[in-house]
Amino acid sequence: REASTQNLKKLTDVFGVQWANEAIVPKVVAMGGHPNYLYRMTTCFAVSTLAPALSLPVIQESIFPILSNLVNDQIPNIRFNVAKSYAVLIDVLKRLPDTESTILSLEKTGKAGSGSSQGDQLIREQIMPNLEKLMTDDDVDVRFFASQAAKSYSDAMQS
């Protein structure tokens, strides 16, 4: 799974965000609704791996709906992997300066990425409410990873 998602990230880097949004993201979205939990787990891994290669609009329009659905998954391992994916997305969104860039494109040019008000708003309005829900989950691992992801945002806000 990991090797496959790394290859998808490399392909996205080569062919671009638009190509990924048309060719890869719909398949990742479809896996997010698959009855077999392993497909849903792979969705979380794919989201985490692809996030640095995606632009803010693609994350907002295609990735957030997948994870929002998986927050309520019956399988605790899916839910804690959703929390882990949110941690990656927080890191990405804190660094994306605009709607056109990707973290990979910034890194290629040697730019750090200062974030944007839109990225911060998405974290506050789309991610944090779901993490707050996961922090009250019945499963201890889900609560742990949700708390870790939320802490990564609050720590960044204090610095």
SS (H, E, C) 55-108: CHHHHHHHHHHHHHHHCCCCCHHHHHHHHHHHHHHHHHHHHCCCCCCCHHHHHH
The one-letter code for the residue type at 90 is I
User: Kindly report the CA angle at 115 between 113 and 117, in degrees rounded to 5?
Assistant: 160
- Interatomic CA distance for residues 134 and 114, integer angstroms: 28
Count how many domains the chain has.
Answer: 1
CATH of the domain at 93: 1.25.10.10
Parent domain of 115: 2-158
Contact criterion met (CB below 8 Å) for 55 and 101: yes
Contact criterion met (CB below 8 Å) for 20 and 57: no
Give the pLDDT of residue 157.
62
- pTM comes to 0.91
Contact criterion met (CB below 8 Å) for 132 and 150: yes
Q: Three-state DSSP class for 30?
A: helix
From first to last of its 159 residues, the chain has per-residue pLDDT tens of 677 777 787 888 888 888 888 999 999 999 999 999 999 999 999 999 999 999 999 999 999 999 999 999 999 999 999 999 999 999 999 999 888 889 988 888 888 778 899 999 999 999 999 999 999 999 999 999 999 999 988 766 655
